[in-house]
Amino acid sequence: MISVGSVKEDLATEKRVSITPESVKKFTNLGLTINLEKKYAEHLGINDEDYKKNGANINFSKEEVFKQSEIILKVNCLSNDEISFIKNKSILIAQFDPNTNKDIINKLIKNDIKIFSLNLLPRITRAQSMDVLSSQSNLAGYKAVIESFAIFEKAIPMMMTAAGTIPAAKILVIGAGVAGLQAIATAKRMGAIVFATDVRSVAKEQVESLGGKFLTVEGSENLETEGGYAKEASEEFKKKQEDLLSETLKKIDIVICTALIPGKKAPLIIKENMIKNMRPGTLIYDLAAAQGGNAAYTEVDKIVNKNGVKIMGEKNILNKLPISASNLYAKNLFNFISNLYDKKNRKININLKDEIIKETLVK
């Protein structure tokens, strides 16, 4: 019987888990055994008994889990300390950027360990239930709005009172991918007037369907890859976008930045001169902070004040929604393994004719 194991992440940087009590039940029904490190999800208020009731084996040490498992599930890539524990010819499945983990990946490949990064999933219909970028970005977009509204020092919806009217806050969402669209929907539900911009022309219809107003650059080009991601814009387009943004930002209360290019540094969209012309009291929440940020002055896990404009970004906003994020991530992982598992012969089948398996396997 194939064993699937998971150990605690470094709680200083990551609070999500890869396996929930609910997913244990699904794995055991599939015919797999589950090995977990002691106190695996205690920080989320989930005790070991909740896992045991659903059929998991709770091992005492991280090393024991690695020794007894053919498949290791993680949120992030293995640490240097964990490399020495993983068995040769094991399978590692996690969510990480292969470009920033090359040294560790090379060491693992030398030990004949098959590595799958769910960040590399192809954007096809069959992979939607495994799409960790979408499930996690959806939560990130929602939480970015909640966090920025909590710090913003004015009311969000329009309020009419006998003493006068409070105007609705104006929100600009930069980047209308999964995180951006959820940010638009959340801000709109809370009564804000929402504007959005994106380099992909297809985003216009999606933004407007949520009640947002799409800012269109005159003579815009469609900057969308075949996989549905944004790609680098031309210098001419960037100049037109800057001019439009500069004028718009003078009237905005809160900016939510979500623009990312997979595997690359985040594009710098809000420049220093733009921030200089923004009104004091304006807030910029930069979801791209961990990849360099979409705004000038963005610092990870800090609130920077520039002439009364607050710029904030977090390394891992999902640490503020770890239970919801873990529930979705665990389902994504289960669906991925279900596709990898040959139920008839009860073995893992790395079928490179399957686009999902081929694209996520790190060479």
> Distance between CA 116 and CA 164 in Å, rounded?
58
Query: Which among 97, 229, 324, 338 is annotated as catalytic?
Result: 229
Compute how many other C-beta atoms are within 10 angstroms of the C-beta atom of residue 21: 18
Find out whether 290 and 325 touch, Cβ atoms under 8 Å. Answer: no
Out of 95, 134, 206, 326, the active site residue is 134
Is 152 within 8 Å of 253 (Cβ atoms)?
Answer: yes
Enter the tokens of residue 60. Answer: 């005492």
Residue 51 a catalytic site member: no
Q: In this structure, which amino acid lies at residue 341?
A: Y
Helix (H, G, I), strand (E, B), or coil: what is residue 151?
A: helix
Catalytic residue among 123, 129, 201, 354: 123
Distance CA 172, CA 252 (A): 7
- Residue 297 among the catalytic residues: no
Burial of 273 (0-12, 13-18, 19+ CB in 10 A): exposed
Structure tokens at 125: 């219909």
Among residues 61, 128, 209, 234, the one annotated as catalytic is: 128
**Dist CA 151 CA 283 (whole Å):** 8
Active site residue 189: no
Task: Record the tokens describing residue 72, joined without a space.
Answer: 């290791």
Instruction: Please confirm, yes or no, whether 68 is among the known catalytic residues.
Output: no
Q: Which two tokens stand for residue 44?
A: 């989320």
Q: Which residue among the candidates 18, 131, 200, 206 is catalytic per the annotation? A: 131
SS3 of 81-122: the string is HHHCCCCCCCEEEECCCHHHCHHHHHHHHHCCCEEEEHHHCC
Task: Give backbone dihedrals phi and psi of 304, rounded to 5 degrees, phi first.
Answer: -100, 130
Contacts of 205 (CB under 8 A, 6+ apart): none
Helix (H) or strand (E) holding 166: strand 164-166
Alpha-carbon span 338 to 160, nearest angstrom: 54
* Nearest-10 crossing angle of helices 21-30, 322-340: 10
List active site positions. 123, 128, 131, 134, 229
